[in-house]
Amino acid sequence: MTLKRVVLSDPEELAAKACEIRKHVIRMVGAASSGHPGGSLSAADIVTVLYFNKMRIRPDDPTWSGRDRFVLSKGHAAPVLYAALAEAGYFPVDDLITLRRIDSYLQGHPDMNQTPGVDMSTGSLGQGLSAACGMAIAAKMDGADWRVYAVLGDGEIEEGQVWEAAMTAVHRKLDNLTIFVDWNGLQIDGPIREVKSVDHIGERFAAFGWHVIEIDGHDIPAIMAAIDEAQRTSGRPTAIVARTVKGKGVSFMENEAGWHGTAPKPEQVEAALAELEASRKGGVAQ
């Protein structure tokens, strides 16, 4: 049964929703004994603001032609997308627990052919921005006013295709395209700086001609304001460089590269859920 569309404007309500999404991530990955909690938790506030405040969507009509599009370029963070889609009403929340089961439509990476609300199948890192550019170009060609949003990982932008797409976006003046770079500083092999440094991310995108906004990726009012600024920007795409914490909200996961693709054990699931619940009861904003 499809849930009623929820639109939230209060930052505290959005923080509470982000906390629920984080709890879903922990439950899903724990139940599957497989998945990627670290980068899902770091992107939860960004995804929450998009789906519950900013994006124009119709969960009861996932293929509505006038909807805004979303591309999770770092497709391994699928749990955060699935949690947001379920909370938004695209499919039952109870289905989240089927993550990665052989007969589930919630596979390890997003599949636009099986999962309601998924606009692009992703997983091969570095390719999502190219798809997002194509969507934004299509909107321009059709004279449509819908927008395209994408979330990229900081490790992912080591891929050369990202920068080819970045040039295309500027060349085509894709002011209907906004990307978030989830800059948590860690990838599966360790610190970004040690694997292949991509420091000065904002300066790099600015050098390609993008409008750049740098924010705390867990500051919900800052995320909201950055999207508003992107919507007002004309003639070029916007890159919102969001400083985040891998594993955000679960103390034993925070800033630990090992939680990039490791599932918590049952006792760790319980501890993580208790910590997240306590943070909300204490009124702690993300």
Give residue-wise pLDDT tens across range 65-82: 999 999 999 999 999 999
Q: Is the pLDDT of residue 1 over 50?
A: no
Q: Is the pLDDT of residue 285 over 60?
A: no
In a domain, 5, yes or no: no
DSSP-derived 3-state class of residue 196: helix
DSSP-derived 3-state class of residue 146: coil
CATH number, domain with residue 144: 3.40.50.970
Domain that holds residue 190: 11-281
In a domain, 6, yes or no: no
CA quadruple 142, 165, 131, 87: dihedral, nearest 10 = -100
How many C-beta neighbours within 10 Å does residue 80 have? 30
Number of domains the chain is built from: 1
In a domain, 286, yes or no: no
Contact 75, 40 (CB under 8 A): no
**Closest by alpha carbon to 53, among 263, 221, 249?**
221
In a domain, 257, yes or no: yes
Diameter over CA atoms, the chain: 53
**Residue pLDDT, tens place only, 197-222:** 888 999 999 999 999 999 999 999 99
DSSP-derived 3-state class of residue 29: helix
**Closest by alpha carbon to 237, among 171, 283, 282?**
171
**Average pLDDT of the chain to the nearest whole number:** 95
In a domain, 1, yes or no: no
Kindly report the pTM of this predicted structure. 0.95
Residue 4 banded pLDDT, cuts 50, 70, 90: low
Residue 282 banded pLDDT, cuts 50, 70, 90: low
Q: Is the pLDDT of residue 28 over 90?
A: yes
In a domain, 239, yes or no: yes
Q: Is the pLDDT of residue 2 over 80?
A: no
In a domain, 157, yes or no: yes
**Closest by alpha carbon to 85, among 132, 128, 38, 25?**
25
Of the two residues 286 and 20, the one the predictor is more confident about is 20
Q: Is the pLDDT of residue 94 over 60?
A: yes
| Cα separation, 90 vs 118, whole angstroms | 10
